[in-house]
Structure 1
Amino acid sequence: MPDVDAVNAQILSLLQNDGRMTNAKLSENLGMSETPCWRRLKRLEENGIIEGYQANLNRRKLGLGVMAFVQLRCSEHDQAATADFQRIVETTPNILACHNTTGADDFLLIVVARDLDDYSTFVDSTLRRLPGVTSIRSNLSLKEMKASSKLPIIPPATS
C-alpha cells in the first residue's frame, strides 16, 4: 500500500470505525500531536486513499426490504452501448453497485427495492430497458449475514 505506513494504517482503521472522529480524538488515540496527525490525514485524502466520508444508513428502516444480486448478459459491447449502459446504471439510485465480471454474465448488480412488487416494477421499467441486455437473472437475499464497506487495513511488515 503506497503511503500507508503503520501510523497511516491506524488512522484508516480508526476512521473506518468512526468517520466523525475529530482530529483531536484521532491524535489522542494515536498518541501524537494534532498537527502531524492532521497532515497525515490530509495527505491520505489528497492521495485519494480516503475518498470521502458518509453516514451508513439502515436500508430496512428506510423501507428498502429487498436486496437482489442481478446478473446481466449483454449482446452489445461497443463503446456507445457501454457508455449508455454505464450512464443509466450510475444515475439509477436503486442500483447500489455494478461490476463488470468474468464468466457467463457480463455484469453483477446489487439492487434494493421496497418490496417484491417494487422490485418487479424496477426489473420491467429499468433493467429490461438497458441497452443490449439479453438475460437477467436475480438472486434475492433471504438473510444478510454480513454487510460492511470497511476494507481490511494491513499495516506494512516491519523488518
Structure 2
Amino acid sequence: MTQTRTPLDTTDIALLQALQKDGQATAQELGETLNLSASQAGRRRQRLEERGVIQGYRARLDPARLGLDVQAFIQVQLARHGEKEGAGFTRLLRTRPEVISAWTMTGEADYLLRVFCADLPGLNRLIHEVLLAHPAVSRVHSQIVMDQPKGDAPLPVG
C-alpha cells in the first residue's frame, strides 16, 4: 500500500531533522534552530503531525540497563502461506514483548524479527517454545547480535 508523499520544504526538512535528534524540543527551541518564531515552529510541527509525517514520540531506552543482554534477528519461514496462517502468526508476534519489530520479506524467509531477551536461555525458549511451536512455522534461523557499530539512525529526510 503506497501512501501519497507529503511535500516538504527546506524548513520542514530541518524541523524533522531536529525532532529526530530531540523529540522533546519545545516550539521555542525549534524556532531558534529554524530561525522562526515559536508559534511558526509549533504550527509546522502540528501540520506534520496531522499529515502523519510525524507518527509519535518515544523515549529511547538502554537495553543493557534493563537486563536485556541478548539481541537477535530471527528469520521465520512458514510452512503454509494462506491468509489464516499469516494472520495467526502475526497475532502471535503482537503478544510477544521480546519481538520489538517484525517485517514480512521477499526471499527465503517470510518474516524477519528483531528481538531482545534477557539471556540465551530466554532466546532459546522464544525460538523453541513459541516460534517453532506455532503450527504455521516450518523453519527458524537466528543470528545473535555481537555489536552494533551504528545505532538506529534518523531517517534520511531531505
Q: How many residues align?
A: 154
Aligned-residue CA RMSD (Å): 1.2
Do structure 1's residue 116 and structure 2's residue 116 form an aligned pair?
A: no
Structure 2 contact 102–112 (Cα < 8 Å) conserved: yes
Q: Which residue pairs with 2:68 in the alignment?
A: 64
The residue that corresponds to 2:98 in the other structure is 94
Equivalent of 2:81 in 68, 72, 77: 77
**C-alpha separation between the residues in 1 aligned to 2:115 and 2:153?**
16
2:135, 2:28 → 1: CA distance?
50
Unaligned runs of 5+ in 2: none
Taking every aligned residue pair, what percent have the same amino acid on both sides? 33
Pairwise CA distance, 1:28: 1.2
Q: Would you say the 8 A contact 2:103–2:111 is kept in 1?
A: yes
Partner of 2:45: 41
Gaps of 5+ in 1: 155-159
After TM superposition, give the deviation of residue 53 of structure 1 in Å.
Answer: 0.3
**CA deviation profile, 1:25-55 (whole Å, cap 9, x unmatched):** 1111111112221111111001111000010
> Looking at both structures, which has the greater relative contact order when contacts are Cα pairs under 8 Å and sequence separation is at least 6?
1
- Runs (4+) of structure 1 exceeding 4 A deviation are none
| CA distance in 2 between partners of 1:153 and 1:100 (Å) | 24
Instruction: Please tell me whether the aligned partners of residues 6 and 53 of structure 2 are also in contact (alpha carbons under 8 angstroms).
Output: no
Query: How much has 1:103 moved relative to structure 2?
Result: 1.1
Q: Which residue of 1 aligns with 2:30?
A: 26
Give the aligned partner of residue 52 of structure 1: 56
1:157 aligns with: none
Query: 1:73 corresponds to which letter in structure 2?
Result: Q
Q: TM-score, normalised by structure 1?
A: 0.92
Structure 1 counterpart of 2:155, from 129, 139, 151:
151
Scaled by the length of structure 2, what TM-score is found? 0.92
